[in-house]
Structure 1
Amino acid sequence: MNKAISKTGVVTALGAMSGTSLDGVDAAVLRTDGHDIESFGEVAYRAYTGQERDVIAAGFGKWSGPQVQAAAGIVEAAHIEVLSEINIVDLIGFHGQTLTHAPRAQGTLQVGDGAALADVLGVPVVWDFRSADVEFGGEGAPLAPFFHHACARFAGLTDPVVFLNLGGVGNLTWVDPSCSRPEDMGALLAFDTGPANAPLNDLMQLRRGKPFDEGGRLAAKGQVEQGALELFLAEPYFARVPPKSLDRNDFAEMVALVGELSDADAAATLTAMCAAGVAEAMQHCPRPPTRVLVTGGGRMNPVLMQMLTVSLDCPVVPVEDIGLNGDMLEAQAFAYLAVRVARGLPTSCPGTTGVRAAVGGGTVSVPSGR
């Protein structure tokens, strides 16, 4: 426990997240004691430029070398820029940028030096959230579920719900808010559903020179190629029992799978693949949820949301329906997790990552001289 961080009471934490969709850095303030959410605060966003996205993307799938170093430099500079906009916080939760994720092989790599950020920003920084979970047999992902549990209780929910995050990779958290602690048996089940926006974004960049299919407009003009969709669902990943997780590029061949299709048909098919992966994943829920609360960029795609509505047996709505911010939920999650790390509380458990027992990851770095 770091002396610079109080051991009890409510803390003002600033979380930051840069996802595999490479849109930019989200930053958000949260007040919490590491158990309950007291309130949400200021938010900020710093978009990556096209050139920055290219440099970071060149590091995907690599563990070391000049491309990884170049990606880390951009990630650190972008985070310093956006985090500097927000003052008067007790600590920062810095996720960094995942470049590669192979928990059953080499491990997991998030670039960005939290100690360097602490020195520049003058605030304790909690970082390297995933390594301890992987070390103790977990998938290292997803890590937002403990925060999802707190969100459900903050919103006053009592029946099971699913939080569905549609970023570069899709992941869901089944939450039973009647359980008092996230690490309690039966409180959570979480895992990656499959690729979400990443393949579609890659297609748009390749074919149209655009970062994403804004408003699902291209997909809305196309037809789903059922043969490609069936091949996608035959992937062994969908038969695996959760918890389980994916690297951004685990389904990279999807863009090639739709290579012979028109732009619109390819976009429609990749969008349908995302929805189909979610539908397969929902079969693993311990009990049917009362609704699916969608967060991340995917909730802004009406074609994808309609596909989910048709294929799932419960209402599908954006998290804004319960008063949350779907753009900032993951940044808020790492603010929440930072407080838990600083206070020695677990951040993952067998139901969220498959780790052998509830474990708290993360490293706390304080500014030099403090």
Structure 2
Amino acid sequence: MKRTHKNGPVWALGMMSGTSLDGVDGAFVKTDGTAIAAFGPCGFQPYSDEQRARLRAALGCWHGDPKVAPAADIVEEVHAGLAARMMTDQPPAYLGFHGQTFAHDPRGRGTHQAGDGQLLAEALQTPVVWDFRSADVEMGGEGAPLAPFFHHACARFIGAKAPLAVLNLGGVGNITWVDPGIEPPEDPAACLAFDTGPANAPVNDLMQARRGVALDEGGALALTGTADEKIVEDFLSHAYFLRIPPKSLDRDQFPDLTTAVADLGDADAARTLVACAAAAVARGMEHCPSPPSRVLVTGGGRHNAAMMEELRARLSVPVEDIDDTGLNGDMLEAQAFAYLAVRVARGLPTSSPTTTGVAAAVGGGVVSKPDGGGR
């Protein structure tokens, strides 16, 4: 495949391993860093049970902890393997490598995504854009969420005219309110983004602890349960929900949820955790500049039928699977980091005061080249 002029659209391969720890997503996007020209092939490499256990053991750990290095080796190995397979037929101009978030404390120790982009650049002989969050945190931002500018581009790609919200339900939930009629995305009126609260992580952890499986497939168990609304009400009293966005969360910032559902049966506990995730989204919607015309749900949580039921019951606007717009809800995060890789390489901002709370629009990320060069 021919490479495109440096100022025109190029193909980039984005890779993402989320806090749900299911595996690595890979996706191609053709972009000039502003508009989306086309979407390309996608791929997925699941973690083995052993790999997932080693990654889970490193959650909450910072640089220097003995659990981090072996977990980082897994991150690099699986990402490199997936990228090598996907690059065979379509060589990208850039790889966007998010790494694996092990700890996130923007107002304290910072943010920690494991994985060395320079190693990947050398192994794959392709420029790698990585360490997307550090510059934002260093400038006073939350370092998350980072997909909002991509969500803005997606809204324009599907021809949306009215403001809408993109709700990503991974381990943690995050929402982007976008007005596709306003550009560029760093314009203060174009985007607002923040983490809504825990999403899939508490349910996944419950299923792992009680049934030895990674998730409640399709929400089958939660569909048979009843939410404990007192637990949901107590959950919403957490100080996080009083904070004005932008704001972000660590995967394990709500440990009391596990204790709260300890005395419930498996089905009721699963339904209650799903209800908490949906209630957090409903509470977060109160911060939107104006009611969105619809909420497009992306990420693994949209496959949980109980989660979608709870969202539709608790929100006052239409809730849709983002796939119904022609976008790929399983790959949106990976696609985001392909898009952001090109923005970083071309010196464009990747976050702004209304997406992460950073002091001014900033272009994060480091570009590592195969020869050891970069910035």
**TM-score after normalising by structure 1:** 0.98
CA distance in 1, matches of 2:74, 2:233: 39
- Equivalence for 1:211: 214
Q: Within 5 A, what are the aligned runs for 1:119-268?
A: 119-268=122-271
CA distance in 2, matches of 1:181, 1:16: 25
Per-residue CA distance 1:304-349 (angstroms, 9 max, x = gap) = 1011111111110011121100000000000000000000000000
CA distance in 2, matches of 1:217, 1:102: 34
What's the secondary structure of 1:353's corresponding residue? coil
- Aligned match of 1:320 in 317, 323, 329? 323
- Equivalence for 1:21: 20
What's the secondary structure of 1:287's corresponding residue? coil
- Equivalence for 1:34: 33
1:252 is displaced (CA, Å) by 2.3
Over the aligned positions, Cα root-mean-square deviation in angstroms equals 1.2
Amino acid at match of 1:34: G
Give yes or no for contact 2:224–2:267 (8 Å, CA) kept in 1. yes
1:7 is displaced (CA, Å) by 3.7
Once the two structures are overlaid, the 10-residue window that deviates more, 225-234 or 281-290, is: 225-234
Pair 1:71-2:74 in alignment:
no
Per-residue CA distance 1:223-244 (angstroms, 9 max, x = gap) = 1112211111110000110000
4+ long deviations beyond 6 Å: none
- Equivalence for 2:81: 81
CA distance in 1, matches of 2:84, 2:256: 39
CA distance in 1, matches of 2:38, 2:167: 22
- Of all paired residues, the percent bearing the same amino acid is 60
Q: 1:6 to 1:364 in 2, by over 3 A?
A: farther
Amino acid at match of 1:50: D
Amino acid at match of 1:86: M
What's the secondary structure of 2:317's corresponding residue? coil
- Equivalence for 2:55: 56
What's the secondary structure of 2:367's corresponding residue? strand
Per-residue CA distance 1:141-198 (angstroms, 9 max, x = gap) = 0000000000000111110000000000000000000002100121000000000000
CA distance in 1, matches of 2:235, 2:125: 47
- Equivalence for 1:43: 42
CA distance in 2, matches of 1:72, 1:6: 35
What's the secondary structure of 2:333's corresponding residue? helix
- Equivalence for 2:285: 282
Q: Any gaps of 5 or more consecutive residues in structure 1?
A: none
- Equivalence for 2:119: 116
CA distance in 2, matches of 1:300, 1:21: 14
Once the two structures are overlaid, the 10-residue window that deviates more, 225-234 or 104-113, is: 225-234
1:369 is displaced (CA, Å) by 6.7
What's the secondary structure of 1:352's corresponding residue? coil
Q: Any gaps of 5 or more consecutive residues in structure 2?
A: none
Once the two structures are overlaid, the 10-residue window that deviates more, 164-173 or 299-308, is: 299-308
What's the secondary structure of 1:368's corresponding residue? coil
Give yes or no for contact 1:295–1:329 (8 Å, CA) kept in 2. yes
1:6 is displaced (CA, Å) by 5.7
Paired positions, count: 367
Give yes or no for contact 2:26–2:43 (8 Å, CA) kept in 1. yes
Pair 1:352-2:355 in alignment:
yes
CA distance in 2, matches of 1:81, 1:68: 20
CA distance in 1, matches of 2:314, 2:274: 13
Give yes or no for contact 1:5–1:342 (8 Å, CA) kept in 2. no
1:253 is displaced (CA, Å) by 2.3
